Amino acid sequence: MDQPILVIALGGNAIKQAHEKGTTEEQFHNVDVTAKQIAKIAHEGYKLVITHGNGPQAGALLIQQEETNGLVPAQTLAVCGAMTQGQIGWMMQNRIAFRLHEESVEIPVCTVVTQVVVSEDDPDFQDPTKPVGPFYTKEEAIKNRDKKGYIVKEVKPGAEKGWRRVVPSPEPIKVVESESINSLVKNNVIVIASGGGGIPVRENSDGSYSGVEAVIDKDRAGFKLAQTVSADKFLILTDVEKAFINYNKPNQQGLDRITVKEAEKYEAEGHFLMGSMGPKMQAAIRFVKWSGKEAIITSLNKALDALKGKTGTHIIP
């Protein structure tokens, strides 16, 4: 019997915590914690395809480009996406390979620098929704808006630093490197792909691809990746154990096992914010409707328990 294919979409907290500065040491530590969990999941007999966010890293790199523009030419947002894909991919394959070796599990790990086709007519270019870079207080966010021209939105209501810069986040249409990724999966390689949602590109009339100034949401790209590899299960890892309705309110309620219809109802009622749980739930809903199989949302440290049905939010047909 073939091993089931599991696509894992890792949230930004798997690489950089909100309270951290984002040093190389901090990020490697967080990735190592993540690698331990992935090594345990590998023991369960899945073929693994992993994708990850890059919002904090792409946002930080973008600041570096802007602040040093008088010294060296600033690179585009698409290039920042490619650079952070390589950075995070290296960190992840480095630590995952080590943790697998430590467990005497000899499975190769490979990062594929991935391009993802988007449409320049996507409405998100008119109303950006993708948070990047550090968290700000409302006052800091407004100051950056007025002085630097940032587009800012509140992404964590009620939090002291609940505001972030946002950039366009168009829908992913096609994974360019799908053939390479599938070839690696077929040969039992743990694949890290579509990092940061993939490098957003447009398809030109001559068949070439050009970078687009955006950051694709990694959960939506994760669903597109799950389609690409015909995944049997989709696991979305974030900073909470479950999705909630009435989040951060006195009557908040964790969701355990819900149908697609229930998930769509809660989404329509506005329970899942676009800057946080919204794209995760949308991606989960899309996967279940497309595959007729289960999607799970949970925290990194509960991943294995969630796969065993002990916790997490399970979205089912």
Strands (E), 188-289: 190-193, 199-203, 209-211, 233-238, 244-245, 253-254, 257-259
Ramachandran angles phi, psi of 306, nearest 5°: -65, -40
280 is known as an active-site residue: yes
User: Taking the CB of residue 131, how many other CB atoms lie within 10 A of it?
Assistant: 28
Residue 81 CB partners (closer than 8 Å, separation 6+): 54, 58, 196, 197, 198, 199, 200, 215
233 is known as an active-site residue: no
What is the C-alpha separation between 313 and 317, in angstroms, rounded?
13
Options 11, 12, 53, 89, the catalytic residue: 12
147 is known as an active-site residue: no
Options 11, 13, 197, 233, the catalytic residue: 13
Which is it for the CA torsion 20, 24, 27, 28, positive or negative?
negative
User: Taking the CB of residue 52, how many other CB atoms lie within 10 A of it?
Assistant: 29
310 is known as an active-site residue: no
Strands (E), the chain: 5-10, 47-52, 109-112, 115-117, 130-136, 152-154, 163-167, 174-175, 190-193, 199-203, 209-211, 233-238, 244-245, 253-254, 257-259, 295-299, 313-316
What's the one-letter identity of residue 215? V
301 is known as an active-site residue: no
Options 16, 47, 156, 280, the catalytic residue: 280
* Catalytic residue list: 12-13, 130, 218, 280
